[in-house]
Amino acid sequence: MSTTDSASHYRHPDRNLALELVRATEAAAIRAVPFIGRGDKNAADKAAVDAMRAFLGTVNFDGRVVIGEGEKDEAPMLFNGEIVGNGSGPHCDMAVDPIDGTSLTAAGRQNAVSVIAVSDRGTMLDASSVFYMDKLVTGAEGIGVVDIRNPIGENLRALAKAKGKSVEDLTVAVLDRPRHDQLIDEIRAAGAGTRLMLDGDVAGGINAARYGTRIDMCVGIGGSPEGIVTACALKGLGGFIQGRMAPKDDDERQKGIDAGLKMDHVYEADELVNSDNTFFVATGVTDGGLVDGVRRMGPIIRTSSVVLRSKSGTIRRITADHLAKKWLDNE
């Protein structure tokens, strides 16, 4: 390998990284299990964060956490800007969410997942200064067809035509929040059905873009970090995503502007993640439409994960059986 080839190898994540990242999401999911349904989302999150960080420290890469658990002073582990990995491999940007759906986990509800998204270094938008983002996600049929600036009814009619369906056959995923009451009414008035999510709009976005699901579109205001994570996944699915910042007040709006974010601007997929070499890895904590949750089966702990890679355009599902004794011995 030439010096140039070697340098390129270390700049870009390769396929071997995916299996290493799965180990980290598996660990986070397994460690969160004792807290499922126990009503303590902070304890569940801490257990998952600790496990994910420990495993990431063994991975052959130089990962910069662009989107993590918060600022350094507020989040002792996996904070924004932290460098993880052993530093010996490719240089990457990362978005991590040890549990996307901490409230779901605490309540024992479905669709909680442990997530890592990775792209080439310097390609991931740092949207952490503005907590919320308005998003529109569909499958490939929505490319050049829908636009977040259009009324939702217009988008639904256009998507239905592109998919060869009637609007009445469309299902739209939306976070069940008071801020979406009018949006939900408009979706139903247009004739489409809704799938209201209690939390975890990453899974909602992926299911809107994934072939063969019952979700046709995911819309509404959710977390900005989740928007970046979803964009990484959509690169592997060939789907459509747009987002625009939704600051909660003037102070946050100014904070976003100071950080270089563009307010009132529609971010396209390549602006959210400017790379065609992305990974998205998720392991189920609780059962859901994307992956099954962690299951204890006698001496075995079974995990279910999904890996999306944009460069190869592949979706891989990984089921792993872990000897429970190995995990119990490490507690």
What integer is the mean pLDDT of 305-312?
A: 92
Q: What is the dihedral of CA 254, 258, 260, 265, to 10 degrees?
A: 20
DSSP characters for 6-57?
HHHHHHS--THHHHHHHHHHHHHHHHHGGGTTSS-HHHHHHHHHHHHHHHHT
Asked if 82 and 52 touch (Cβ cutoff 8 Å), the reply is: no
Is residue 205 within 8 A of residue 235, CB to CB? The reply is no
Across the range 11-27, mean pLDDT stands at 81
pLDDT at 307: 94
Considering only residues 294 and 9, tell me which one the structure prediction assigns the higher pLDDT: 294
Q: Which residue has the tokens 């299902």?
A: 171
The Cα 95–Cα 232 span in angstroms is: 9
Tell me the residue ranges of DSSP E strands in 161-239: 171-175, 193-197, 217-223
Question: What's the pTM?
Answer: 0.88
Contact status, residue 45 vs residue 73, Cβ threshold 8 Å? no
Report the alpha-carbon distance of residue 44 to residue 35 in Å, rounded: 5
Query: 190 is written with which tokens?
Result: 């247009």
118 vs 1, 31, 62, 304, CA distance in Å?
A: 25, 22, 11, 19
pLDDT band at 14; cut points 50, 70, 90? low
Q: What is the pLDDT of residues 142-188, one digit of tens each?
A: 999 999 999 999 999 999 999 999 999 999 999 999 999 999 999 99
- Residue 3's pLDDT band, with cuts at 50, 70 and 90, is very low
Cα separation, 249 vs 246, in Å, equals 9
pLDDT in tens, 262-293: 999 999 999 999 998 999 999 999 998 889 99
pLDDT tens sequence across 232-248: 999 989 999 999 999 99
Q: Label residues 209-223 b or e (16+ Cβ within 10 Å = b).
A: bbeeeebbbbbbbbb
Residue 277 DSSP class: -
Give the sign of the dihedral formed by CA 319, CA 320, CA 321, CA 327: negative
pLDDT for 51 equals 93
CA dihedral 233, 230, 154, 169 (to 10 degrees): 60
